[in-house]
Chain A
Amino acid sequence: MRDVICGVSLVLDSGRLVVTGRNGSGKSTLLRIIAGLVTPTAGEVVFTEDGAELSIDARRDALGLVAPDLTLYDELSAIENLRFFCRVRGLRKSDNELKSLLAGLGLRDREDDPIGSYSSGMRQRAKYAFALAHNPEVLLLDEPTANLDQSGIDAVDRVITEHRGIVIIATNEADELRYGDSVLELGA
């Protein structure tokens, strides 16, 4: 056992936070803890809305995560993946809504192909569709532009600047510090 992240204390209302730090400093782990995928050994993450704490179920719907180790279902097409993830959240979204989301990420031509046939850049775009499909208030982006070409990076720029809630970005690219209103450096 080893303490990876210690003494991180944050209150976020809105805006964009960039988390940086050398390899192994716990950027991804911090995002996974906020996403609820990892339970911290000590401390807690609290989401509130209008002063009331969100339930675990509501928390799930308030979050969208893009991360390198996140994988969608290879056997299903992009549109089938989105349909499934919406349905399992109890959301009834029309195919048109989902299709325009995919089109905005440049996946219009490939929306009916199984994710397994996608290149790594297209997978990254599909992850954005997964993270945005339920209109979450909080976006967690771990290495937001990994594997993306210039048009992909432009799409990510739009996602980040147009998002009206909280965006937390974990990155080591000096170029991506510009996304943040504030910067948190771990392990410094």
Chain B
Amino acid sequence: MAGKAIWKGYINFGDVNLPVKLHTAIKEDRIQFHLLHKRDHLKLRQQMICAFEKKPVPTEAQVKGFEVEEGKYIIVDPDEIEQTAPEDSRMIEVREFVKTEQIDPLFLERVYYLEPDVPLKGYDALVGALKEMEVAGICTWAMRKRYYLGALQTGGKILRLTTLRYADEVISLKSLELPDIPLSEKELKIGSDLINRLTAPFQPQKFENEHQKKLQSLIEKKARGEKIAVLRPRRLKPTAPDKLLQALEASLKKVA
């Protein structure tokens, strides 16, 4: 079953005004740990401590500040910040359409499923149009006191809305300033051959969260009082630059 409906809105562009309900699409199942005091195994709590007095500070004595310079703050009232929050407008405004393949995965944040709301007319038509033209709608909307940028796309028979990061939230790859190292045509050819040999169709059902299962069994072993062998991870020896061609050739031989 899809996640619960968290919001209702209207997809709006041209003469399209389509009512939809947003549902969460991902459910992460994780083993949760508590943080305990080693000495007495008591569950710890988070507290705000004054850096100066080294003592806990109650909520009534806490204020929010924006650091303008080291050690200097502008105090803000939570109500003042509230005032800057947008009103929920229910309009998911499509500003433009782009070819889906142009959207770099670095910009994708959180995906929601869109369920058609009444009246139902037009939903299937929009799904069909987006799918056949292979495009996504770039949208803006205000939800739960925040402004969002997103991509309206199809997924199977339904519409999906994925929030997008703003441009300045993605760190530019050029800023990494990686060195340009020359490579021989031979290294590149063998490397490419190797990759093509190791290529398989994407079948996500092949992959399970094995670590989660092993973690579960570790917990069960300890609960039974069994001794745990602590294995130390080994680091693989890095391939030296002058041994790279050799490693590639040996790899290709291995998969042939």
Partners in one complex: no
Point out residues on A near B: beta carbons under 8 Å. none
